[in-house]
Protein backbone atom coordinates (compact mmCIF):
# COMPACT_ATOMS: atom_id res chain seq x y z
CA UNK A 1 0.00 0.00 0.00
CA UNK A 2 1.28 3.44 -0.94
CA UNK A 3 1.15 5.88 2.01
CA UNK A 4 0.42 9.60 1.70
CA UNK A 5 4.01 10.35 2.58
CA UNK A 6 5.30 8.23 -0.33
CA UNK A 7 2.68 9.40 -2.82
CA UNK A 8 4.62 12.49 -4.05
CA UNK A 9 7.71 10.34 -4.57
CA UNK A 10 5.69 7.86 -6.64
CA UNK A 11 4.15 10.64 -8.74
CA UNK A 12 7.57 12.19 -9.42
CA UNK A 13 8.87 8.76 -10.40
CA UNK A 14 5.99 8.35 -12.84
CA UNK A 15 6.72 11.72 -14.43
CA UNK A 16 10.34 10.65 -14.95
CA UNK A 17 9.35 7.28 -16.42
CA UNK A 18 6.52 8.27 -18.80
CA UNK A 19 8.71 10.04 -21.42
CA UNK A 20 10.75 6.85 -21.77
CA UNK A 21 7.65 4.90 -22.83
CA UNK A 22 7.47 6.51 -26.30
CA UNK A 23 8.37 4.73 -29.53
CA UNK A 24 12.15 4.61 -29.93
CA UNK A 25 13.55 6.24 -33.07
CA UNK A 26 14.74 4.24 -36.08
CA UNK A 27 18.48 4.14 -36.54
CA UNK A 28 20.01 4.20 -40.00
CA UNK A 29 22.93 1.96 -40.82
CA UNK A 30 26.31 3.61 -40.99
CA UNK A 31 27.19 4.12 -44.69
CA UNK A 32 30.36 2.50 -45.94
CA UNK A 33 33.13 5.09 -45.97
CA UNK A 34 36.12 3.09 -47.18
CA UNK A 35 37.32 4.64 -50.49
CA UNK A 36 37.63 2.18 -53.35
CA UNK A 37 38.91 4.54 -56.05
CA UNK A 38 40.24 8.08 -56.48
CA UNK A 39 38.05 11.11 -55.76
CA UNK A 40 36.71 12.35 -59.12
CA UNK A 41 35.80 16.02 -59.65
CA UNK A 42 35.15 18.01 -62.83
CA UNK A 43 35.09 21.81 -62.92
CA UNK A 44 32.65 23.17 -65.52
CA UNK A 45 33.30 26.83 -66.35
CA UNK A 46 31.02 29.18 -68.27
CA UNK A 47 33.13 31.08 -70.83
CA UNK A 48 30.21 32.69 -72.67
CA UNK A 49 30.32 36.33 -73.85
CA UNK A 50 28.74 37.66 -70.66
CA UNK A 51 31.87 36.66 -68.71
CA UNK A 52 33.58 39.77 -70.18
CA UNK A 53 31.56 42.02 -67.88
CA UNK A 54 33.65 44.05 -65.38
CA UNK A 55 31.46 43.91 -62.29
CA UNK A 56 33.42 41.80 -59.80
CA UNK A 57 35.46 44.37 -57.92
CA UNK A 58 36.10 46.25 -61.17
CA UNK A 59 37.53 43.16 -62.86
CA UNK A 60 36.06 40.85 -65.50
CA UNK A 61 34.23 37.77 -64.34
CA UNK A 62 36.49 35.48 -66.37
CA UNK A 63 39.68 36.98 -64.85
CA UNK A 64 38.36 36.41 -61.34
CA UNK A 65 37.36 32.82 -62.21
CA UNK A 66 40.79 32.09 -63.76
CA UNK A 67 42.66 33.30 -60.69
CA UNK A 68 40.38 31.33 -58.39
CA UNK A 69 40.96 28.20 -60.50
CA UNK A 70 44.73 28.60 -60.22
CA UNK A 71 44.53 28.86 -56.43
CA UNK A 72 42.32 25.77 -56.29
CA UNK A 73 44.61 23.73 -58.55
CA UNK A 74 47.55 24.56 -56.28
CA UNK A 75 45.59 23.45 -53.22
CA UNK A 76 44.08 20.23 -54.60
CA UNK A 77 44.53 17.35 -52.15
CA UNK A 78 46.60 14.38 -53.25
CA UNK A 79 44.61 11.50 -54.69
CA UNK A 80 42.09 13.73 -56.50
CA UNK A 81 41.28 13.06 -60.14
CA UNK A 82 40.45 16.43 -61.74
CA UNK A 83 38.90 17.32 -65.07
CA UNK A 84 37.98 20.71 -66.60
CA UNK A 85 35.17 21.34 -69.09
CA UNK A 86 34.19 24.69 -70.59
CA UNK A 87 31.07 25.97 -72.36
CA UNK A 88 30.71 28.86 -74.79
CA UNK A 89 34.48 29.08 -75.26
CA UNK A 90 35.07 28.70 -79.02
CA UNK A 91 32.15 29.83 -81.21
CA UNK A 92 31.59 33.59 -81.47
CA UNK A 93 29.03 33.63 -84.29
CA UNK A 94 25.26 34.18 -84.30
CA UNK A 95 24.15 30.70 -85.36
CA UNK A 96 22.43 29.48 -82.19
CA UNK A 97 22.30 25.88 -83.41
CA UNK A 98 26.09 25.82 -83.68
CA UNK A 99 26.72 27.91 -80.56
CA UNK A 100 24.57 25.67 -78.41
CA UNK A 101 26.86 22.72 -79.13
CA UNK A 102 29.90 24.66 -77.89
CA UNK A 103 31.31 22.68 -74.97
CA UNK A 104 34.70 20.97 -74.70
CA UNK A 105 36.71 19.09 -72.11
CA UNK A 106 40.05 20.93 -71.92
CA UNK A 107 41.58 18.73 -69.20
CA UNK A 108 40.64 15.00 -69.02
CA UNK A 109 39.64 13.58 -65.65
CA UNK A 110 42.74 12.08 -64.09
CA UNK A 111 45.66 12.72 -61.70
CA UNK A 112 46.32 16.46 -61.48
CA UNK A 113 48.89 17.96 -63.86
CA UNK A 114 48.99 21.45 -62.35
CA UNK A 115 50.95 23.10 -65.17
CA UNK A 116 48.66 21.68 -67.85
CA UNK A 117 45.54 22.66 -65.92
CA UNK A 118 46.71 26.25 -65.35
CA UNK A 119 47.73 26.70 -68.99
CA UNK A 120 44.34 25.45 -70.17
CA UNK A 121 42.56 27.90 -67.86
CA UNK A 122 44.79 30.87 -68.80
CA UNK A 123 44.00 30.49 -72.50
CA UNK A 124 40.22 30.87 -72.08
CA UNK A 125 38.49 33.93 -73.59
CA UNK A 126 34.75 34.75 -73.25
CA UNK A 127 33.10 33.99 -76.56
CA UNK A 128 29.65 32.52 -77.17
CA UNK A 129 26.38 31.01 -75.93
CA UNK A 130 25.58 29.29 -72.58
CA UNK A 131 24.67 25.60 -73.15
CA UNK A 132 24.59 24.63 -69.46
CA UNK A 133 22.33 21.60 -69.89
CA UNK A 134 24.50 20.05 -72.60
CA UNK A 135 27.70 20.76 -70.65
CA UNK A 136 26.31 18.98 -67.56
CA UNK A 137 25.33 15.95 -69.62
CA UNK A 138 28.80 15.77 -71.20
CA UNK A 139 30.54 16.31 -67.84
CA UNK A 140 28.70 13.30 -66.45
CA UNK A 141 30.09 11.25 -69.33
CA UNK A 142 33.59 12.60 -68.60
CA UNK A 143 33.39 11.35 -65.02
CA UNK A 144 32.09 7.94 -66.04
CA UNK A 145 30.52 5.45 -63.68
CA UNK A 146 31.88 3.63 -60.66
CA UNK A 147 31.19 2.70 -57.08
CA UNK A 148 31.90 6.10 -55.56
CA UNK A 149 30.39 9.59 -55.69
CA UNK A 150 31.40 11.86 -58.59
CA UNK A 151 31.20 15.64 -58.28
CA UNK A 152 30.63 18.40 -60.85
CA UNK A 153 31.32 22.03 -59.87
CA UNK A 154 29.45 24.37 -62.22
CA UNK A 155 30.52 28.03 -62.30
CA UNK A 156 28.39 30.39 -64.37
CA UNK A 157 27.21 33.99 -64.51
CA UNK A 158 23.96 33.42 -66.34
CA UNK A 159 21.11 31.06 -67.07
CA UNK A 160 21.11 28.58 -69.94
CA UNK A 161 20.49 30.29 -73.31
CA UNK A 162 20.19 27.04 -75.27
CA UNK A 163 17.36 25.02 -73.67
CA UNK A 164 16.31 22.41 -74.55
CA UNK A 165 17.72 20.50 -72.84
CA UNK A 166 16.68 22.37 -69.71
CA UNK A 167 19.49 22.20 -67.10
CA UNK A 168 17.07 21.23 -64.32
CA UNK A 169 15.69 18.37 -66.41
CA UNK A 170 19.24 17.24 -67.19
CA UNK A 171 20.11 17.27 -63.48
CA UNK A 172 17.07 15.12 -62.66
CA UNK A 173 17.95 12.82 -65.55
CA UNK A 174 21.49 12.36 -64.22
CA UNK A 175 20.23 11.73 -60.68
CA UNK A 176 17.74 9.17 -62.00
CA UNK A 177 20.56 7.13 -63.54
CA UNK A 178 21.65 6.07 -60.05
CA UNK A 179 25.34 6.90 -60.62
CA UNK A 180 25.42 9.02 -57.45
CA UNK A 181 26.52 12.17 -59.25
CA UNK A 182 26.44 15.44 -57.27
CA UNK A 183 26.37 18.87 -58.94
CA UNK A 184 27.42 21.91 -56.89
CA UNK A 185 26.67 25.31 -58.45
CA UNK A 186 28.35 28.70 -58.03
CA UNK A 187 26.72 31.88 -59.33
CA UNK A 188 28.90 34.91 -60.14
CA UNK A 189 26.12 37.53 -60.15
CA UNK A 190 23.19 38.06 -57.75
CA UNK A 191 20.48 37.51 -60.37
CA UNK A 192 17.23 35.91 -59.17
CA UNK A 193 16.54 33.92 -62.38
CA UNK A 194 20.08 32.55 -62.37
CA UNK A 195 19.81 31.70 -58.67
CA UNK A 196 16.58 29.74 -59.16
CA UNK A 197 18.07 27.72 -62.01
CA UNK A 198 21.28 26.93 -60.14
CA UNK A 199 19.36 25.99 -56.98
CA UNK A 200 17.21 23.64 -59.05
CA UNK A 201 20.27 21.95 -60.58
CA UNK A 202 21.98 21.50 -57.22
CA UNK A 203 18.85 20.31 -55.40
CA UNK A 204 18.08 17.65 -58.00
CA UNK A 205 21.41 15.93 -57.34
CA UNK A 206 21.90 16.62 -53.63
CA UNK A 207 24.43 19.39 -54.24
CA UNK A 208 24.71 22.97 -52.98
CA UNK A 209 24.31 26.46 -54.44
CA UNK A 210 26.43 29.48 -53.49
CA UNK A 211 26.69 33.03 -54.84
CA UNK A 212 30.32 34.17 -55.12
CA UNK A 213 30.86 37.95 -55.30
CA UNK A 214 34.66 38.05 -55.23
CA UNK A 215 37.73 36.03 -56.13
CA UNK A 216 38.19 35.15 -52.45
CA UNK A 217 34.60 33.90 -52.16
CA UNK A 218 34.96 31.80 -55.30
CA UNK A 219 38.31 30.30 -54.27
CA UNK A 220 37.15 29.46 -50.75
CA UNK A 221 33.93 27.87 -51.95
CA UNK A 222 35.57 25.68 -54.61
CA UNK A 223 38.13 24.46 -52.07
CA UNK A 224 35.34 23.60 -49.65
CA UNK A 225 33.50 21.60 -52.29
CA UNK A 226 36.63 19.69 -53.32
CA UNK A 227 37.33 18.90 -49.66
CA UNK A 228 33.75 17.72 -49.25
CA UNK A 229 34.18 15.46 -52.27
CA UNK A 230 37.12 13.84 -50.49
CA UNK A 231 35.24 13.53 -47.20
CA UNK A 232 32.06 12.12 -48.76
CA UNK A 233 34.00 9.85 -51.10
CA UNK A 234 32.12 6.70 -50.09
CA UNK A 235 30.57 3.76 -51.86
CA UNK A 236 27.42 4.84 -53.67
CA UNK A 237 24.04 3.37 -52.67
CA UNK A 238 22.92 0.34 -54.68
CA UNK A 239 20.26 1.10 -57.26
CA UNK A 240 17.00 -0.79 -56.71
CA UNK A 241 13.54 -0.62 -58.27
CA UNK A 242 10.57 -1.09 -55.97
CA UNK A 243 7.32 -2.59 -57.25
CA UNK A 244 3.61 -1.87 -56.85
CA UNK A 245 2.90 -5.03 -54.80
CA UNK A 246 4.84 -6.88 -52.11
CA UNK A 247 4.75 -10.25 -53.87
CA UNK A 248 6.90 -8.91 -56.74
CA UNK A 249 9.13 -6.67 -54.62
CA UNK A 250 12.94 -7.05 -54.57
CA UNK A 251 14.40 -8.72 -51.48
CA UNK A 252 16.81 -6.38 -49.70
CA UNK A 253 19.54 -7.13 -47.18
CA UNK A 254 21.28 -4.70 -44.84
CA UNK A 255 22.65 -1.76 -46.82
CA UNK A 256 21.87 1.59 -48.46
CA UNK A 257 19.73 1.76 -51.62
CA UNK A 258 18.53 4.43 -54.02
CA UNK A 259 15.28 4.50 -56.00
CA UNK A 260 12.82 6.95 -57.60
CA UNK A 261 9.20 7.37 -56.53
CA UNK A 262 6.57 9.18 -58.59
CA UNK A 263 3.92 11.39 -57.02
CA UNK A 264 1.31 9.59 -54.90
CA UNK A 265 3.01 6.27 -55.64
CA UNK A 266 3.60 3.21 -53.42
CA UNK A 267 6.99 1.44 -53.67
CA UNK A 268 7.27 -2.03 -52.13
CA UNK A 269 10.36 -3.92 -50.94
CA UNK A 270 10.85 -7.16 -48.99
CA UNK A 271 13.19 -7.95 -46.10
CA UNK A 272 13.78 -11.37 -44.54
CA UNK A 273 14.03 -10.95 -40.76
CA UNK A 274 15.54 -13.96 -38.98
CA UNK A 275 14.48 -15.06 -35.48
CA UNK A 276 16.20 -12.88 -32.90
CA UNK A 277 16.75 -10.01 -35.35
CA UNK A 278 15.31 -6.50 -35.36
CA UNK A 279 14.60 -4.61 -38.58
CA UNK A 280 15.57 -0.95 -38.60
CA UNK A 281 14.67 1.00 -41.72
CA UNK A 282 14.70 4.66 -42.72
CA UNK A 283 13.98 6.60 -45.91
CA UNK A 284 14.91 10.12 -47.03
CA UNK A 285 13.29 11.72 -50.07
CA UNK A 286 14.91 14.79 -51.65
CA UNK A 287 12.48 17.49 -52.76
CA UNK A 288 14.18 18.28 -56.06
CA UNK A 289 11.45 20.43 -57.62
CA UNK A 290 8.69 22.84 -56.64
CA UNK A 291 5.81 21.11 -54.91
CA UNK A 292 2.37 22.14 -53.78
CA UNK A 293 2.24 22.85 -50.06
CA UNK A 294 1.43 20.25 -47.41
CA UNK A 295 2.94 16.91 -48.34
CA UNK A 296 4.17 13.87 -46.52
CA UNK A 297 6.07 10.58 -46.59
CA UNK A 298 4.80 7.36 -45.06
CA UNK A 299 6.81 4.19 -44.41
CA UNK A 300 4.98 1.05 -43.27
CA UNK A 301 6.07 -2.48 -42.43
CA UNK A 302 3.40 -5.10 -43.10
CA UNK A 303 3.08 -8.86 -42.97
CA UNK A 304 2.69 -10.73 -46.25
CA UNK A 305 -1.05 -11.01 -45.54
CA UNK A 306 -1.35 -7.20 -45.48
CA UNK A 307 -1.54 -6.82 -41.71
CA UNK A 308 0.27 -3.65 -40.63
CA UNK A 309 3.14 -4.18 -38.19
CA UNK A 310 4.44 -0.65 -37.61
CA UNK A 311 4.60 2.71 -39.40
CA UNK A 312 6.58 5.94 -39.46
CA UNK A 313 5.49 9.27 -40.98
CA UNK A 314 6.88 12.70 -41.77
CA UNK A 315 5.19 15.77 -43.22
CA UNK A 316 6.23 19.15 -44.60
CA UNK A 317 4.69 22.38 -45.79
CA UNK A 318 7.15 23.67 -48.37
CA UNK A 319 9.90 24.85 -46.01
CA UNK A 320 12.29 21.89 -46.17
CA UNK A 321 14.57 20.16 -48.70
CA UNK A 322 14.31 16.57 -47.45
CA UNK A 323 11.67 14.44 -45.76
CA UNK A 324 12.81 11.50 -43.65
CA UNK A 325 11.10 8.86 -41.59
CA UNK A 326 11.96 5.48 -40.10
CA UNK A 327 10.73 2.49 -38.16
CA UNK A 328 11.94 -0.56 -36.24
CA UNK A 329 10.33 -3.97 -35.84
CA UNK A 330 11.09 -7.44 -34.50
CA UNK A 331 8.94 -10.57 -34.29
CA UNK A 332 8.43 -10.17 -30.54
CA UNK A 333 7.24 -6.58 -31.07
CA UNK A 334 4.22 -7.99 -32.93
CA UNK A 335 3.15 -10.07 -29.93
CA UNK A 336 1.30 -8.20 -27.20
CA UNK A 337 2.13 -10.97 -24.73
CA UNK A 338 5.82 -11.03 -25.58
CA UNK A 339 8.08 -10.54 -22.61
CA UNK A 340 11.79 -10.75 -22.03
CA UNK A 341 11.76 -14.55 -22.34
CA UNK A 342 10.41 -14.25 -25.88
CA UNK A 343 13.67 -12.59 -26.87
CA UNK A 344 15.74 -15.32 -25.34
CA UNK A 345 14.25 -18.21 -27.36
CA UNK A 346 15.61 -18.31 -29.96
CA UNK A 347 18.60 -16.22 -29.04
CA UNK A 348 19.78 -13.39 -31.32
CA UNK A 349 21.46 -14.79 -34.40
CA UNK A 350 19.96 -18.24 -33.84
CA UNK A 351 19.90 -20.55 -36.84
CA UNK A 352 17.93 -23.42 -35.34
CA UNK A 353 16.65 -25.90 -37.89
CA UNK A 354 13.01 -25.49 -38.84
CA UNK A 355 12.83 -21.79 -37.89
CA UNK A 356 12.20 -19.77 -41.04
CA UNK A 357 12.84 -16.02 -41.40
CA UNK A 358 9.81 -13.74 -41.37
CA UNK A 359 9.23 -11.85 -44.64
CA UNK A 360 8.42 -8.22 -43.90
CA UNK A 361 6.92 -6.05 -46.63
CA UNK A 362 8.20 -2.47 -46.56
CA UNK A 363 6.13 0.12 -48.43
CA UNK A 364 7.01 3.79 -48.99
CA UNK A 365 4.21 6.17 -49.96
CA UNK A 366 4.01 9.92 -50.51
CA UNK A 367 1.49 12.72 -50.88
CA UNK A 368 3.47 14.93 -53.28
CA UNK A 369 1.96 16.97 -56.11
CA UNK A 370 3.89 19.19 -58.50
CA UNK A 371 3.12 22.82 -59.25
CA UNK A 372 3.81 22.16 -62.93
CA UNK A 373 2.40 19.27 -64.93
CA UNK A 374 5.67 18.85 -66.83
CA UNK A 375 7.61 17.94 -63.67
CA UNK A 376 5.89 14.62 -62.92
CA UNK A 377 8.86 12.46 -63.93
CA UNK A 378 11.34 11.18 -63.18
CA UNK A 379 10.16 10.41 -59.67
CA UNK A 380 11.52 11.99 -56.52
CA UNK A 381 14.94 10.57 -55.48
CA UNK A 382 14.82 8.46 -52.33
CA UNK A 383 17.54 6.83 -50.26
CA UNK A 384 16.55 3.75 -48.28
CA UNK A 385 18.63 2.41 -45.39
CA UNK A 386 18.10 -1.14 -44.12
CA UNK A 387 19.75 -2.59 -41.03
CA UNK A 388 19.25 -5.93 -39.29
CA UNK A 389 20.56 -6.13 -35.73
CA UNK A 390 20.16 -8.40 -32.73
CA UNK A 391 16.76 -7.82 -31.15
CA UNK A 392 16.65 -6.48 -27.62
CA UNK A 393 13.61 -6.23 -25.39
CA UNK A 394 12.25 -2.85 -24.39
CA UNK A 395 13.19 -2.17 -20.77
CA UNK A 396 10.48 -3.12 -18.28
CA UNK A 397 8.78 -0.09 -16.83
CA UNK A 398 9.92 0.10 -13.19
CA UNK A 399 7.13 -0.97 -10.90
CA UNK A 400 4.23 -0.29 -13.26
CA UNK A 401 3.02 -3.89 -13.17
CA UNK A 402 1.16 -3.69 -16.52
CA UNK A 403 -0.61 -0.51 -15.38
CA UNK A 404 -2.02 -1.66 -12.02
CA UNK A 405 0.25 0.52 -9.91
CA UNK A 406 -0.50 3.55 -12.11
CA UNK A 407 -4.23 2.87 -11.74
CA UNK A 408 -3.85 2.53 -7.98
CA UNK A 409 -1.89 5.79 -7.74
CA UNK A 410 -4.51 7.67 -9.77
CA UNK A 411 -7.31 6.21 -7.61
CA UNK A 412 -5.59 7.23 -4.38
CA UNK A 413 -4.83 10.68 -5.77
CA UNK A 414 -8.49 11.14 -6.70
CA UNK A 415 -9.66 9.93 -3.29
CA UNK A 416 -7.26 12.21 -1.47
CA UNK A 417 -8.28 15.20 -3.60
CA UNK A 418 -11.95 14.46 -2.92
CA UNK A 419 -11.40 14.30 0.84
CA UNK A 420 -9.52 17.60 0.87
CA UNK A 421 -12.12 19.38 -1.27
CA UNK A 422 -14.95 17.94 0.88
CA UNK A 423 -13.29 19.04 4.11
CA UNK A 424 -12.66 22.56 2.80
CA UNK A 425 -16.26 22.84 1.59
CA UNK A 426 -17.67 21.81 4.98
CA UNK A 427 -15.37 24.26 6.73
CA UNK A 428 -16.41 27.11 4.44
CA UNK A 429 -20.13 26.31 4.97
CA UNK A 430 -19.67 26.21 8.74
CA UNK A 431 -17.90 29.59 8.77
CA UNK A 432 -20.53 31.14 6.48
CA UNK A 433 -23.40 30.02 8.73
CA UNK A 434 -21.86 31.57 11.85
CA UNK A 435 -21.92 35.01 10.21
237-390 has which CATH code? Answer: 2.60.120
62 has pLDDT over 70: yes
- Residue 375: what pLDDT? 64
194 has pLDDT over 70: yes
| Torsional sign, CA 189, 194, 196, 199 | negative
Confidence of residue 100 (pLDDT cuts 50, 70, 90): very high
From 10-24, 183-197, 302-316, the region with the lowest mean pLDDT = 10-24
Report the candidate in 101, 209, 104, 208 with the shortest Cα–Cα distance to residue 165. Answer: 101
CA distance 131 to 49: 12
Q: Among 132-141, 345-354, 402-411, 413-422, name the most confident range.
A: 132-141
315 has pLDDT over 90: no
From 32-41, 333-342, 346-355, 412-421, the region with the lowest mean pLDDT = 333-342
The predicted-structure confidence for 374-419, as pLDDT tens digits, reads as follows 567 778 888 898 999 887 655 444 444 456 777 788 888 888 888 8
Confidence of residue 435 (pLDDT cuts 50, 70, 90): low
39-231 has which CATH code? Answer: 3.40.50.410
- Residue 125: what pLDDT? 92
- Residue 95: what pLDDT? 93
**Sequence ranges of the domains in the chain:** 39-231, 237-390
| pTM of the full structure | 0.57
What is the rounded average pLDDT for all residues in the chain? 79
Amino acid sequence: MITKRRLPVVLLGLLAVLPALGVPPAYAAEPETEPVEATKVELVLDVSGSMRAKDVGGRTRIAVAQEAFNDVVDALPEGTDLGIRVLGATYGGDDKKVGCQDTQQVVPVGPVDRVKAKNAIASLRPTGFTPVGLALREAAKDLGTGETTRRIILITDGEDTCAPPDPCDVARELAAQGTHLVVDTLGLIPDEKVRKQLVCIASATGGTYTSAQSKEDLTRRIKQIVERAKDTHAKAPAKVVGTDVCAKAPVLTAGVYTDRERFEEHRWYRIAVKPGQELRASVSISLDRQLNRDYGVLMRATATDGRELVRGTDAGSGRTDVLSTGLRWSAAADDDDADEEAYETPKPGSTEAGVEPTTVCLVISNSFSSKTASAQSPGMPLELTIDLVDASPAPNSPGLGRGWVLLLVLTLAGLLSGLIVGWLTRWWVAVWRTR
